[in-house]
Structure 1
Amino acid sequence: MRLTAILYHIKNKRPHGHVYRGKHRIVKPPTMEDLARLRCDFEREERNMLILRHPYLTLEQSRGYMKDIKPKTSLMEICRDYRNSRFQKHFTWNDQLIHLRSTDNWE
């Protein structure tokens, strides 16, 4: 009985941990569906590379095409601009602490 259990264990050895990951994983044989999917991926990649190699517009035509189109201002930007307009004065630390230099006399 023990010999049968040992031989059965050696014949049907499975990897430890995750079955399809790691050094001793079980590798699924590729199917025709996998090969078709890979072929579709390569064809899509080739179409994309063709578009990138031959663009629709030249560099001269594509320069400055967004000049006439103004970006929409969102409500958040309008509210932020209104809020900041009330507190628009910029100041420095020297302006804030100038009152401390009142007794600073040089001869």
Structure 2
Amino acid sequence: MRLALALLRKKMPNGNIWTGKDRLPHRVQEAHLDRMRRRLEVEDRNMLLLRNPYLTQEQSAGVGAALGKHEAWLKQKMLESSMVLKGRTKPLHHVRVEDRFRILYNNDGWE
């Protein structure tokens, strides 16, 4: 009886030991700590890069102007405003019936 009490001292949770309200928690292992340390180092490097950007505000504005981003944005806004005036939300694309039924064409011969 004393041996059974010594061996059965640990109370096990009810039901499945890995799910539910009364589950048995996993023990923290060294691999878990290493993984967490690596994730924190990556996050620290990312925050360092965000604090010290590669380009200044003036340089990034110059790059945007060189690529013509403002003109493309204006063109997109004008297109959207003209569609709103016409009552549409998306531009209409020209689609032919042949394009719709192209999947039905089968030119492979049986013999």
TM-score (norm 1): 0.47
Structure ID, larger Rg: 1
Q: Which structure: greater helix fraction?
A: 2
TM-score (norm 2): 0.45
